[in-house]
């Protein structure tokens, strides 16, 4: 009989060893929930820190009150700029960011060259869009040869050369499917007489290029020499397809 009870006791010990009390289960669930919440909080804090950082930088830059860059555009440009750095496509000491806001009238100074280290606007200028991109306002964009349309996205400035439009700056498109044909299409920065207040007064809008971000003739040398050689240029327009698909606008780990 003693043997029987001994076996029975052993069976009881084995079966109950797999049993977790309700309090233990709740404790484990709480621990898992706490861990998930901590991860979520960390991500939220990281995103908040990034926003705060970009807001702080934006507020420290002295824009002309009559030609102020929209914060949302600046924030997107800064995100792409930092992601290009992380990818090794810009040097770590790169500090010049050129932004064209093509949601604005072409008769306004919608191009900014910003020194992020000195927190100042180096240039604020008129800039043309492509002939088939729109009249005063840009509406249509393309990455196709002979479309005579502007291309959205992030570019890296390359070398200078003397071409049909005078002193010019080659641009390398970094957004696949949106502007990566820029070099082949000869989309470059160059000066043009039709990018001027005088032209806009006569024609009700500045002139248009064949897709190039053309700038005032008098700024050609100084602006191009400032941003040439591996600096970032961002051409913005609130195109939802571009904004949702550009790899440079996505959060990087």
CATH number at residue 137: 2.40.440.10
Answer yes or no: is 10 within a domain: no
Q: Which domain holds residue 85?
A: 61-249
Total domain count for the chain? 1
Answer yes or no: is 8 within a domain: no
Confidence of residue 52 (pLDDT cuts 50, 70, 90): low
pTM for the predicted model, two decimal places: 0.80
Answer yes or no: is 36 within a domain: no
Residue 229 CB burial class (10 angstroms; 0-12, 13-18, ≥19) = middle
Q: Name the token pair of 23.
A: 């309090």
Answer yes or no: is 39 within a domain: no
Place of tokens 């393309």: 142
Place of tokens 């079966």: 15
Query: CA nearest 100: which of 235, 213, 224, 210?
Result: 235
CA atoms within 13 A on the CB side of 127: 29
Query: CA nearest 213: which of 121, 125, 145, 123?
Result: 125
CA dihedral angle for residue 36, residue 38, residue 43, residue 47, rounded to 10 degrees: 140
- The percent of residues above 90 in pLDDT, for the chain, comes to 77
Is the pLDDT at 25 greater than 50? The verdict is: no
């Amino acid at each position: 009989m003693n043997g029987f009870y001994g076996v029975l006791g052993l069976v009881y010990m084995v079966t109950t060893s797999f049993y977790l009390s309700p309090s233990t289960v709740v404790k484990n669930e709480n621990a898992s929930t706490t861990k998930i919440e901590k991860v979520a909080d960390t991500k939220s804090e990281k995103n908040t820190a990034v926003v705060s950082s970009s807001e702080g930088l934006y507020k420290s830059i002295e824009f002309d009150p009559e030609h102020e860059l929209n914060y949302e555009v600046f924030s997107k440009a800064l995100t792409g700029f930092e992601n290009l750095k992380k990818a090794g496509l810009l040097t770590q000491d790169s500090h010049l960011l050129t932004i064209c806001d093509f949601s604005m009238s072409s008769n306004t100074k919608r191009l900014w060259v910003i020194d992020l280290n000195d927190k100042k606007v180096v240039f604020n200028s008129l800039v043309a869009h492509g002939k088939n991109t729109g009249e005063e306002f840009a509406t249509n964009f393309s990455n196709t040869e002979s479309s005579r349309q502007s291309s959205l996205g992030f570019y890296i400035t390359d070398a200078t050369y003397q071409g049909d439009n005078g002193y010019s700056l080659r641009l390398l498109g970094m957004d696949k499917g949106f502007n990566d044909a820029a070099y082949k299409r000869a989309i470059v920065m160059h000066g043009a007489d039709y990018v001027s207040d005088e032209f806009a007064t006569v024609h009700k809008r500045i002139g248009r290029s064949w897709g190039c971000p053309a700038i005032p003739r008098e700024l050609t040398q100084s602006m191009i020499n400032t941003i040439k050689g591996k600096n970032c240029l961002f051409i913005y327009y609130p195109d939802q397809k571009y904004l949702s698909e550009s790899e440079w606008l996505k959060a990087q780990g």
